[in-house]
Chain A
Amino acid sequence: MSLDVLSRQTDAGVTVLAPSGRLDVAGAPMLKEAIGEAVKNGQPRLVIDMEGVSFVDSTGLGSVIAALKLVRSSKGDLRLAAPNQQVRVVLELTTLDRVFPYFATVDEALSGF
């Protein structure tokens, strides 16, 4: 199963990336590529819409951490939205929920961003 990533820009200039599939060792490079593309132009504000992500592994998490570092080094920021139960469990297990306070929906993540 490969990972597809849709990208869109909101009127407020926030990039919403919506990966679909498994964000794992096989799929993580696709998200990394999409994030790199989104960061190219200026100060990125990114929301990763996790609704379509069925499963995440440690490599997938690593790609999100890399994204966070990248956007912050460009004076931007990143928010996670709509993770499923498995993603939330893994964030909690790794204590990354403290690094990525996630939002229940994309609209909530976009609010005030």
Chain B
Amino acid sequence: MKRSLASDPDRLDVQAFEFHATLTGLDDGLDTLHRSVELLRTQTGKPSDDRNLILFETALAEIGSNVLIYTGKHGTSGPPVEYDLRVEANTATASFTDKGPPIHNQLTRAMPAATSEAGRGLAIARKVLDELGYKREGEVNTWRLVKRL
């Protein structure tokens, strides 16, 4: 894990923040994602009710849990998920890279009916992020999440 913050104390906005982790299971993986956002929140002094950071964390958890589940990471061994979070010029960019099965036809899912018990995760992420990307190159899935803070 690495993280850093710009050394210029006169600049109050988020200028540079980096976090990297290898996610090794659903529970621990989700803990790590939330911890990375908490680190970002603490280091930048953003309040706990900062709406943009709440939206980013919400989307991050939705995509992260999807990735962890799809790679079969319910506490068992499997291909690792590499997680990166960077903030530059007040824009947060997160990525997940894994060698799980490819994802098909999910990015376009609409928000389901109010009485539906499932199927909201990607719709929420797409709604709150400035950019949500997915690509499959060879055996590798890469998700990219971008949100201006």
Contact = CB atoms under 8 A, between A and B. Distances in A.
Contact of B34 (A55, A58, A66): A55
A40 interface: no
Contacts of A99: 114-115
Interface in B74-129: 111, 114-121, 124, 127-128
B149 interface: no
Contacts of A69: 115, 117
A17 to B, nearest CB: 18
A93 interface: yes
Interface residues of B, number: 28
Contacts, number: 76
Nearest to A67: B117
Q: Is the interface of A mostly helix, strand, loop or mixed?
A: helix
Interface residues of A, number: 26
B38 to A, nearest CB: 10
A25 interface: yes
Contact of A94 (B26, B48, B111, B118): B111
10 contacts: A1-B30, A24-B65, A26-B26, A57-B61, A59-B65, A69-B115, A86-B54, A94-B111, A94-B120, A99-B115
